[in-house]
Structure 1
């Protein structure tokens, strides 16, 4: 897995599109549901965009612990799909919402906290992590052939 993060409107999508031109895109910004099954996708390269939106949906249904457990189930599924056969790759793009002023509303604080914990879990599992600011990447974790 390759995790790409950074601030809103900082060029994450453009950077990923340039690097992974043949990918199948699944985007929370287009109201696509968080995928639990890649079996019907005939590509070996999948980009998941807007994971912070999917995490927000989880926080509307579950407490923080259950959100993180469910998130990790998705991560484990995506990692298993990658490792099942051939050269497969899942690229995950998430906007960093964990900086700045702590939200006053309880539900927004929960979303921010769950997103931060989920990104930590993703960064740990990912083979590579890139931070994008103003269209420029900084690799903060590197391993394998991404």
Structure 2
């Protein structure tokens, strides 16, 4: 798994498209396009799957569940995604999430929960990812 994060509108999508030379034969699922959280990828036959906007999927989870349940669901998804990736040699999973964890702490309880859950989920992604990049202003910084 390759985890990519960075600020909003900082070039993550373009960087991934260029890095992976994304074609129509690849699967790009975006929360920004209202794709539901893909809990299971086993039915997908593509060799490259890109999951974009994970902070949006996490926000939806925080509207329904407490922090512990959100993390449990998230880690279940991560486990399923990694099983899909490891099932075939040439498969690659790319996960893209906007960093919402910096700056002023939100006053509203629901937004603080979203920020906290997103920070924990990104830590979980970083832990299991083979590679990790931060994209700022279109420039990548390899973290892992």
TM-score with structure 1 setting the length = 0.94
> C-alpha displacement at 1:129, in angstroms?
0.3
- 2:62 is the counterpart of 1:59: yes
Counterpart for residue 131 of structure 2: 128
> C-alpha displacement at 1:29, in angstroms?
0.2
Q: Could you give the per-residue CA deviations for residues 7-38 of structure 1, whole angstroms, max 9, x where no partner exists? A: 00000000001111233100000000011232
Which blocks of at least 5 consecutive residues in structure 2 are unaligned?
none
Report the 3-state secondary structure (helix = DSSP H, G, I; strand = E; otherwise coil) of the residue aligned with 1:13.
helix
Q: What is the number of residues matched between the two proteins?
A: 141
> C-alpha displacement at 1:85, in angstroms?
1.8
RMSD: 0.9
TM-score with structure 2 setting the length = 0.95
Q: Could you give the per-residue CA deviations for residues 85-132 of structure 1, whole angstroms, max 9, x where no partner exists? A: 221111000000000000000000000000000000000000000000
Q: Could you give the per-residue CA deviations for residues 42-72 of structure 1, whole angstroms, max 9, x where no partner exists? A: 3110000000000001001110011001100
